Amino acid sequence: VHVKMADEAVCVGPAPTSKSYLNMDAIMEVIKKTRAQAVSLNESICCSFMPSLSLQASEGVTFIGPDTHAIQAMGDKIESKLLAKNAKVNTIPGFDGVVKDADEAVRIAREIGYPVMIKASAGGGGKGMRIAWDDEETREGFRFSSQEAASSFGDDRLLIEKFIDNPRHIEIQVLADKHGNALWLNERECSIQRRNQKVVEEAPSTFLDPETRRAMGEQAVALAKAVKYSSAGTVEFLVDSSKNFYFLEMNTRLQVEHPVTECITGLDLVQEMIRVAKGYPLRHKQADIPINGWAVECRVYAEDPYKSFGLPSIGKLSQYQEPLHVPSVRVDSGIQQGSDISIYYDPMISKLITYGSNRAEALKRMEEALDNYVIRGVAHNISLLREVIVHPRFVQGDISTKFLPEVYPDGFKGHKLTDLERRELLATAASLYVAEQLRSQRFLGTPRIPIAKSKRSTWDLSVHLGDGIYPVAVSKDGSSFSVEVDGTKLNVTSEWNLASPLLSVTIDGTQRTIQRLSRNASGDTSIQFLGTVYKLQILTKVAAELSKYMPEKAAEDTSSILRSPMPGAVVAVSVKPGDMVSEGQEICVIEAMKMQNSMIAAKTGKV
């Protein structure tokens, strides 16, 4: 999409980032070739640009973003922590030096006291991070974190600090110019996370009072001024249940979740970054920064949320439709229908943002937007996002970074239907089936065989959903259907536009937006209802009675096979043919979307 939008585009190399977006020579070549006046770059490459900064003067190129000394200081977690301490910013207790090896990591972890967090010094985005609760986990965490750090950032240095159990992750947006002015633009609540990566963000936070907000904002600005920061940046804090806050790290870039801040302040952060780069002073004073309304962002990922809250999925987007017809919705995406989601980059499809005058309104719009989002061809996490935003704990604001494992201790299983919702789904599926039967009798709006009398008005069906088989009686009444399920009658109305990916259905006065994803001649159909995809089988009474004679396909025994749960690259193999392995032993390591995953044997046996 960015290439389509640009007036001029130059390919900087093949897909792996080390050969393209992090290739300094290729980027410098493009700058010269296009005679660019300003360049926006990420932190990793700005640091590698250090030797070439003389070009900034000779080539007349301005970098949009902070100066490299600020990026280097804040990009290095060890140096940034020391700077934060000197700027009187609250910091987490821990070891401020570089950890040499696994033995030293264990010694330091024992001194600090378990649990500890092992982090890549140059890291970010949840990569190169491990929590360790004992010596063994510290050794393993040291190995994986250093490998991930080396492959993601080209820097395998690690640090160790105390792990604050059950905190909130709240960050402050800062904006500074080259004239010594700096502002804090309120906070963002980013506590809903999986694998240390954010999933749902909102602004403002339900947790902060004005005093805590000001204290955090003032410390964030103090840190920005200490490193002579100029541009937009984010200072991240961990906040405990008593509202004590501790500096986590500073992100010297525009964050993924910046739109929620733009919604509540009315500032265009990208425009402000370009103005600052050009040398203009900030146009606003701290007293001008408002909190107007509430904004929520959901990160829509090409991931399977039923596996570890989201294992990456790859493929082509065969159908893609953003919910831009829903009021107060913003979608920031870099893809379109037909785009490929590959193993080389983060599996994010888009950022879905909704805005309201208050939190309840913003969340209601988010619910509607998620129901109206059409994504086909790859697995996606809309079911998880929708469940999070309607969960009573989330609605009350009772959240922490442990929210997902606490609410779903056995993993995410999708929406659990109430009896009423189950009846609604069965009635909708049965009505869809009948609408389809009636459509197939017509040809361009006229009956296929004019002499055939098609006056049928009732259908007795058998619907298989989950572990249950339900008798459903459908009768047609004009454009609506009267459906009897479990002895209860429901009235189902819709325009029944079966060619549309979205169907608006009203069931006894309740409006639902559903999506039918697939169907076949055996009566199998998949329907997305309340965010979750349900598999149903709809048969006539006669077909249902005969179906018991159909043989079931036996499930394959996969316990003696190791099958990667996601696409990726094999970076290490720990066994060879003929080895005896025990259950739980590591067989290989798969790197997917810059994260390393240990694959283990499902049973004891011989390779």
The count of other CB atoms within 10 Å of the CB of residue 10 is 14
Structural domain count, the chain: 5
Position 53 pLDDT exceeds 60: no
CATH of the domain at 6: 3.40.50.20
Question: Is residue 222 situated within a structural domain?
Answer: yes
Q: Which residues are known to be catalytic?
A: 249
CATH of the domain at 587: 2.40.50.100
Percent of the chain scoring above 90 in pLDDT:
67
Question: Is residue 554 situated within a structural domain?
Answer: no
Position 184 pLDDT exceeds 90: yes
Position 508 pLDDT exceeds 80: yes
Residue labelled with tokens 């299983």 = 413
Note whether 313 and 379 are within 8 A (CB): yes
**Out of 121-125, 323-327, 350-354, 580-584, least confident range:** 121-125
What is the average pLDDT value for the chain, to the nearest integer?
Answer: 91
Residues 357 and 436 in one domain: no
Residue labelled with tokens 């009398």 = 453
pLDDT digits over 372-404, tens only?
999 999 999 999 999 999 999 999 999 999 999
Residues 516 and 590 in one domain: no
Which domain covers residue 2, as residue numbers?
1-71
CATH of the domain at 247: 3.30.470.20
Residues 33 and 113 in one domain: no
Q: What does the pLDDT read at residue 440?
A: 83
User: What number of residues does the chain have?
Assistant: 607
Question: Is residue 230 situated within a structural domain?
Answer: yes
Residues 302 and 173 in one domain: yes
**Two tokens, residue 129:** 């991070």
59 sits in which H/E element: helix 54-59
Using CA atoms, how far apart are residues 283 and 427, in angstroms rounded to an integer? 57
308 φ/ψ sector (left φ>0, alpha ψ -120 to 50, else beta): left
Average pLDDT over residues 491-520: 95
Using CA atoms, how far apart are residues 176 and 230, in angstroms rounded to an integer? 5
Residues 512 and 370 in one domain: no
Name the residue with higher pLDDT: 564 or 456. 564
Q: Pairing state of beta strands 62-64 and 38-40?
A: parallel
Residues with Cβ within 8 Å of 167's Cβ and at least 6 positions away in sequence, in order, are: 191, 238, 239, 240, 400, 401
Q: Which of 499, 514, 547 is the last residue of a domain?
A: 547
pLDDT digits over 238-267, tens only?
998 889 899 999 999 999 999 999 999 999
Question: Is residue 492 situated within a structural domain?
Answer: yes
Residues 153 and 190 in one domain: no
Confidence band of 45 (pLDDT split at 50, 70, 90): low
Question: Is residue 555 situated within a structural domain?
Answer: no
Question: Is residue 98 situated within a structural domain?
Answer: yes
Q: What does the pLDDT read at residue 57?
A: 47
Residues 357 and 318 in one domain: yes
Q: What does the pLDDT read at residue 128?
A: 79
Position 336 pLDDT exceeds 50: yes
Closest by CA position to 248, among listed 134, 397, 117: 117
Using CA atoms, how far apart are residues 386 and 352, in angstroms rounded to an integer? 12
Using CA atoms, how far apart are residues 289 and 183, in angstroms rounded to an integer? 9
CATH of the domain at 481: 3.30.700.30
DSSP 8-state class, residue 91: B
Residues 541 and 592 in one domain: no
Residues 356 and 496 in one domain: no
Residues 57 and 131 in one domain: no
Residues 210 and 330 in one domain: yes
Question: Is residue 215 situated within a structural domain?
Answer: yes
pTM value?
0.85
* DSSP secondary structure of 201-269: EEES-SS--HHHHHHHHHHHHHHHHHTT--EEEEEEEEE-TT--EEEEEEE-S--TTHHHHHHHH---H
Q: What does the pLDDT read at residue 247?
A: 94
Question: Is residue 413 situated within a structural domain?
Answer: no
Position 447 pLDDT exceeds 70: no
Residues 467 and 510 in one domain: yes
Average pLDDT over residues 472-480: 91
Confidence band of 54 (pLDDT split at 50, 70, 90): very low
Average pLDDT over residues 214-222: 97
Q: Pairing state of beta strands 442-443 and 580-581?
A: unpaired
Using CA atoms, how far apart are residues 413 and 452, in angstroms rounded to an integer? 47
Position 339 pLDDT exceeds 80: yes
